[in-house]
Amino acid sequence: MRHWLRMASCLLFSGSLFVTPPSSLAAPQKIVMGRLTKAGNSAIYLNQNGKSLTLLISPTTELWRLGTDVRSTSQFVLGQDIRAAYSEVAADGSPIAILVVQSQAGDTVKMVPHQIVEYRLCSGSLVQTTNDSITLRTGDDKTCTTHLDARTEIWQGRISHDPTVLRVGDDVSTRNVVQYPQESLVAERI
């Protein structure tokens, strides 16, 4: 215990003492996004609203595309959006990527190395409900089917896990986890 306290960083804040372990003092991760313009073995190049960004790739960089870790940046598709996390920069100022993700346009991504989750939102009018799925008609007259499981939270004045509280014609929004390789959707929240 004494050794840990000697190694810890102490902060005095508003008259209270907070002890922060050294491991929590690591540089915070930053996220960059852009459209992939070129991919090489040691770097990828992104267009960020007309500005070019070089993102360095190291042997430890995790590369992820559509639900799968990939071995090479050559497996990314040029012209599609990229998100990358980094905490260090090279001498020339280029970010050194920890994680590089290419997902479907419009999806959001939980950027945690080795625990990546891709989310897709659906909203529209409920056209069908079963015990394990719902189907919505979206504003652009397409359908979105999302599966339900025991963890799916349905909010309609209060949280429920029973899809029978939903009625055909209800306006519904869902937050879904994208399951690859089928690209099926599993609702987290409705």
Which CATH number do you get for residue 170?
2.40.50.140
Q: Are residues 90 and 140 in the same domain?
A: no
Q: Are residues 46 and 104 in the same domain?
A: yes
Q: Are residues 136 and 66 in the same domain?
A: no
Q: Are residues 167 and 151 in the same domain?
A: yes
What mean pLDDT comes out for the span 115-143?
Answer: 94
pLDDT digits (tens, 9 = 90+) for 11-32: 333 333 333 344 445 568 899 9
pLDDT digits (tens, 9 = 90+) for 32-70: 999 999 999 999 999 999 999 999 999 999 999 999 999
Element housing 7 (H / E): helix 2-7
Instruction: Choose one of 76, 94, 114: the last residue of a domain.
Output: 114
Inform me whether the pLDDT recorded for 137 exceeds 90: yes
Residue-number span of the structural domain to which 52 is assigned: 30-114
Nearest to 109 by CA among 61, 174, 58, 64: 64
Looking at per-residue pLDDT, the higher value among 11 and 71 belongs to 71
Q: Are residues 64 and 95 in the same domain?
A: yes
Q: Which two tokens stand for residue 106?
A: 């419009």
Q: Are residues 34 and 79 in the same domain?
A: yes
Distance in angstroms (rounded) separating the CA atoms of residues 43 and 73: 8
